[in-house]
Amino acid sequence: MLAASTYLPRVSGTKHCVAQARTFAHPLKEDNTMVNWLHDLSYFFGGVFLANAIPHFVSGSMGRPFQSPFAHPPGEGLSSSTVNVLWSFVNFVAAYLLIACVGQFDVRDAQAIIALGLGALLISLGLAKRFGRFNGGNLKANRH
């Protein structure tokens, strides 16, 4: 396999850095197809931010306090509904940037959807366990 610099045109300065980054993001396989693993990683974290935005947006829109990184102690105390709406907006923007502005995200592309869905699922399961102890979601059956 040839070195990455073999594929790059000879350019200097910023253009050279951009060309190197593009080669790193799209390494060629032996059959010359592109591997977009960095795009999938971006879609994965886009799913994480998207899933994290939803509970903050819903709680804040309903006027209810909810845990956030800005509470005391962080992640355990309650933040105001306004803080939660603002935090959800930051998460929605991050999700948008990671999903819509990286690569060519297509809802018909199973690989991209799986990456996004796995990110959303894994963060949701982790947050359900963590915050379930505060909100009654980790109920254990009381059998006598």
pLDDT of residue 2 exceeding 50: no
Q: What percent of the chain has pLDDT over 90?
A: 53
Q: Which helix (H) or strand (E) holds 78?
A: strand 78-79
Phi, psi at 142, each rounded to 5°: -95, 95
What 3-state DSSP class applies to 66? strand
Q: Are 69 and 86 in contact (CB under 8 A)?
A: no
Q: Which long-range contacts (CB under 8 A, 24 or more apart) does 127-130 make?
A: 127/51, 127/52, 127/55, 130/75
Domain ranges of the chain: 37-133
Q: Which helix (H) or strand (E) holds 67?
A: strand 66-67
pLDDT at 65: 93
Please give the distance of CA 88 from its chain centroid, rounded to a whole number: 13
pLDDT digits (tens, 9 = 90+) for 12-43: 555 554 455 455 555 554 433 454 788 999 99
